[in-house]
Structure 1
Amino acid sequence: MRTVILIPARYASSRFPGKPLVDLRGPDGTKSLIRRSWEAAKAVQGVAEVHVVTDDDRIRMAAESFGASVMMTSEEAENGTARCTEAVARYGIEADLIVNLQGDAPLTPPWFVDALIATMANDKVADMVTPVIRCDRESLEHFLADRRAGRVGGTTAVFDHDNRALYFSKEVIPYTGGVVPEPIPVFHHVGLYAYRPAALAAYASWRMGPLEALEGLEQLRFLENGLTLRCVPVDGRGRVFWELNNPVDVERIEMVLMAQEDMS
């Protein structure tokens, strides 16, 4: 299965302008967010191509400086999926599977991508797949703290017994009440997608629906148009996963990077 990883990155983030170029300290020194995300993508074995996809020359120059291949798209791309769709069409990318590893997810371990590729190789129904990871107490508290502070943080997902996605939200779902049961029923949606080319191409032909508009979550457009989106539960293997959504997340991610070195 020929797989291509695209890393969409934009400078004009409403929550964190210039986010892809923010520096993150780790045991291997200080590197930009986009470089750490690119290194996460390059750690996946058996991938045919890896490209940073952006509309900003500052990101292009930064990415090329550390050896990344860059594909330029228009400023009109409204989200990472739209940016990937444009890149595939503009550059004539040929693949059996397109993986969108978002440029704010430097903690994505390679086995998350491996799990998506393996699922799509054996699942003839799913149009696309995305990972979910069961929250532990610490990650759930991060979600709840963001909501209490009025910050839009990570995304949660709910799915059926066949792992078909039912809904994604920036709120913490399902509602658990005052006492959170064990195992914790809240799943963190990892900002990582694997699409069949036909599903990705179809995305551009659909208008944004009301749910996507309200939540600001691109994956809801696939659900609103009846495609099968499969959630793939993944194991963090002791590693913490978190995206860089807000400035407060810089310290969180740097702490995780340091902790990973201690575990090695």
Structure 2
Amino acid sequence: MSVVIVIPARFASTRYPGKPLVELRGAGGQARSLIRRSWDAAMAVGGIDRVIVATDDDRIRDHALAFGGDVAMTSPDCRNGTERCAEAVATLGLTPEIVVNLQGDAPLTPAWFVEDLVAGLRRDAQAGVATPVLRCTGAMRADLIADRHAGRVGGTTAVFGHDGRALYFSKEVVPFVPGDVAPDGPSPVFHHVGVYAYRPDALAEYPTWPEGTLERLEGLEQLRFLERGRPVLCVEVEARGRQFWELNNPEDVTRLEQMMQDMGIA
């Protein structure tokens, strides 16, 4: 087995309880749950051997099984999606080359984001984990800043070196950019896309480490790797005209539904 996608999903989200079962209406008015749309996004990725929903909640399990999903039950003690992915892979006894964590709040993730991510990790034999980053337009950056001014977490930003190694991830909009950026123009801000690709040894080691201080403050699981001195490879991906956003807050439902309408996603 070469590449496995795991979709971690828990009901008891701090910011948005029950989020995986929230329905999103696409073009034409068709309503599908967030977890179903995330499953569909995973199934569209090429070169994948298996897709699994990893959850600790019977409601999510039953819903996923009803639409034909493959489910692994995991402990409610998992502190984040990476730990849930690690437990699912271990419980099922899987031995893939690469495990992809496609978080269940990013249903608009294009297939090529994941395909490019896997290719990037394969090219870098020294990296144990990789994650995609998307250069923000001025409009995307403005949306991130507006969310922060409103007290909402609208997304995560990433900064990285010339070698692609992550320097930091934050829910603040970094780096600071003086002045305005044209709405359609490129900005130096990169939106971190909530997907990870791990080599199995890096994934298995992760739950053995205690939660890091920065990880706890930011609420960003990938910072545990950085706090342990483990490199995280940032793989730049291209939007190709697609809009992208994650469902972080209830207010994002309307935003995602409008994006689906604009892109003709049913």
Tell me if both proteins adopt one fold, taking TM over 0.5 as the criterion. Answer: yes
Query: C-alpha displacement at 1:121, in angstroms?
Result: 1.8
Give me the whole-angstrom Cα distance separating, in 1, the residues matched to 2:12 and 2:199: 28
Structure 1 position 229 matched with structure 2 position 199: no
Name the structure 2 match of 1:244. Answer: 247
Q: State the 1:145 CA deviation.
A: 1.2
CA spacing shift, 1:65–1:157, aligned 2, 3 Å: same
Higher deviation after alignment, 41-50 or 134-143: 134-143
How much is the aligned-residue C-alpha RMSD, in angstroms? Answer: 1.5
Residues in 2 aligned to 1:18 and 1:177: alpha-carbon distance in whole angstroms: 39
Aligned equivalents of 1:77 and 1:44: distance in 2? Answer: 26
Q: Distance in 2 between matches of 1:93 and 1:56?
A: 22
Percent same amino acid at aligned positions? 60
Unaligned runs of 5+ in 2: none
Query: Which residue identity does 2:26 align to in structure 1?
Result: G
Cα distance in 2 for partners of 1:15, 1:122 equals 36
1:16 aligns with: 16
- CA distance in structure 1 between the aligned counterparts of 2:7 and 2:230, rounded to whole angstroms: 23
Distance, in Å, in 1 between the alignment partners of 2:251 and 2:25 is: 14
In 2, Cα distance between equivalents of 1:138 and 1:257: 18
TM-score by length of 2: 0.96
What are the superposed Cα offsets for residues 132-163 of structure 1, whole Å, 9 maximum, x if unpaired? Answer: 00111221122111101111220000000011
Residues 113-139 of structure 1: CA deviation (Å, up to 9, x unaligned): 110111122211111110000111221
Structure 1 Cα separation of the partners of residues 138 and 257 of structure 2: 19
2:34 partner amino acid: L
Q: Distance in 2 between matches of 1:216 and 1:173?
A: 16
Aligned residue in 2 for 1:67: 68
**Partners of 2:19 and 2:122 in 1: how far apart?**
34
Query: Within 1, Cα distance between the matches of 2:138 and 2:121?
Result: 31
Deviations 1:17-41 (A, max 9, x none): 1000000000261100000000000
Q: How many residues align?
A: 263
The residue aligned with 2:213 is 210
Q: Which runs of 4+ in 1 moved over 2 A?
A: 177-183
**Equivalences for residues 52-201 of structure 1 within 5 A:** 52-180=53-181, 183-201=186-204
Residue ranges of structure 1 left out of the alignment (5+ in a row) = none
C-alpha offsets along residues 195-233 of structure 1, whole Å, 9 cap, x if unaligned?
000100110111111110110100000011111211001
TM-score (norm 1): 0.96
CA contact (8 A) 2:138 2:186 kept: no
Q: Secondary structure at the match of 1:135?
A: strand
Asked if 1 retains the 8 angstrom alpha-carbon contact of 2:138 and 2:181, the reply is no
Q: AA paired with 1:249?
A: D
